[in-house]
Amino acid sequence: MRVLKIHILLILLFICGTYIAQNSTKIPTDFYKLLQQQKFNEIFSLLDTTNIPKTFIEAQKEKMKPYLTQYGKAKKLLKIIEDDAGVKKKYALLIQFKKGKKNLNLVLNSNQRIFTCTISDYNETPFFQLKGYQGFSEVTDLSTEIKTRDNITLGANIAFGDTSKQKSPCVIFVHGSGSHDRDETIGPNKPFRDLAQGLAQKGIVSLRYDKRGYDYIHLSKTQIDSIDLYTEVINDAIDAVKSAKKNSFIDSTRIYIVGHSLGAMCAPKMAELCPQLKGIIMMAGPAGNLLDIIPEQVEYMAKLNDTISNLESVQINQIKWQVEKTKASYLNDKTPKGLLLLNQSAKYWRSIIQYNQIETAKKLVLPIFILNGERDYQVTMKQFEIWKKEFANYRNVQFRSYPKLNHLFLEGEGKANPDEYNKSGHIPQYVIDDLVEFIQ
């Protein structure tokens, strides 16, 4: 397991500065100079490790040098390409290494710290390229914002096609766990932007927003310490529904939640608390408890190269130990975060343990659409089959699985792995069509 890619673990394994123009590439340029000089301690000091558990910080540090030197010494910086990602900045350093050309990808937060660092295949257009889906040729994508019940302002976009004839149905996109922007950007991929584009061309409006904590620097200590499933995911999604209803061209009686991963898992609770919803769409939503799923994901990634190193074995055992501590009946607010899984608070894990998405969904009468990629190693077909078994006799629930799709609903071949997320792709038209059919 390439531990430097731990951001993928934190983003997708169910938890965990504005630059002036002339200085916009200073950090990536400094990074490259340090890489060329092989000053790895100095490189590590540029990384933002604020929310990463200590167990993983040491593992990152140990594996950083072999990860950054796997293609030999950096010979030449060919180009730096910048992409505006809202409060964060993304850079692709196109580098000639001794063993060939590669992209070194950096994401910086507003505190000018490196949030993620990955190496991917050489690509002169490394960032998201808009895909045209079938339907209307024009899509309007406007910036807006959502004001939450505790007075946090979330940056957002509302996308729509032709709204001149009648009021349109609307979907609210809800992210998986981790620090996601409004597009749920992973590498060069933007799943929510894809879905917004495709749905708009079929006459369906969408609202997508930056997740609370996307730039955690702006959260107070009280807000960070109080995070649970409700404050992280559920409440903001309901507030987004209320915001969407203010738009005159949206049919307020036809608003849907489209949740992905953790967002999908929480969708039944959103529907229970927000009876105005017309339906929920659950994309790769876990059926079981996250505490049981996370160790399986860690082991899967460790075994991708068919061997488990001593360090990986220690990490797996540490995760399992933390899972048992987190499940302990004596768990309370004074339990140190360091003892708990992924450094999350006792309050957060209590909200996970106490929530049963299957039992909550069984109380609902609104339409439910459950989708899964058959190559998804994070929310596997085992989870999908649990949903199917539990809701086999429920007429309001539909199911669909896709043989070629991974956790991001992007196509691939063979055994899925985290490297896929650094390859540019788009959600296939047939997924868009299935969502449209369900909504319309």
> Which of 305, 285, 161 is CA-nearest to residue 233?
285
C-beta atoms surrounding 205 within 10 Å: 26
Point out the catalytic residue in the list 181, 210, 215, 376.
376
Point out the catalytic residue in the list 243, 261, 345, 351.
261
φ/ψ of 105, rounded to 5, equals -105, 125
Point out the catalytic residue in the list 7, 175, 180, 407.
407
Distance CA 194, CA 132 (A): 9
Question: Would residue 376 show up in a list of annotated catalytic residues for this protein?
Answer: yes
Question: Would residue 175 show up in a list of annotated catalytic residues for this protein?
Answer: no
Question: Would residue 181 show up in a list of annotated catalytic residues for this protein?
Answer: no
- CA distances, 151 to each of 220, 229, 240, 257 (Å): 12, 18, 13, 22
What one-character-per-residue DSSP string does 377-400 give? SSS-HHHHHHHHHHTTT-TTEEEE
Q: Lay out the sheet containing 368-373: strands in order across.
A: 140-147, 153-160, 205-209, 168-174, 250-260, 279-283, 368-373, 397-402
Burial 62-95 (b: 16+ CB within 10 A, else e): ebbeebbbebeebeebeebbebebbbbbbbbbbb
C-beta atoms surrounding 312 within 10 Å: 19
Active site residues: 261, 376, 407
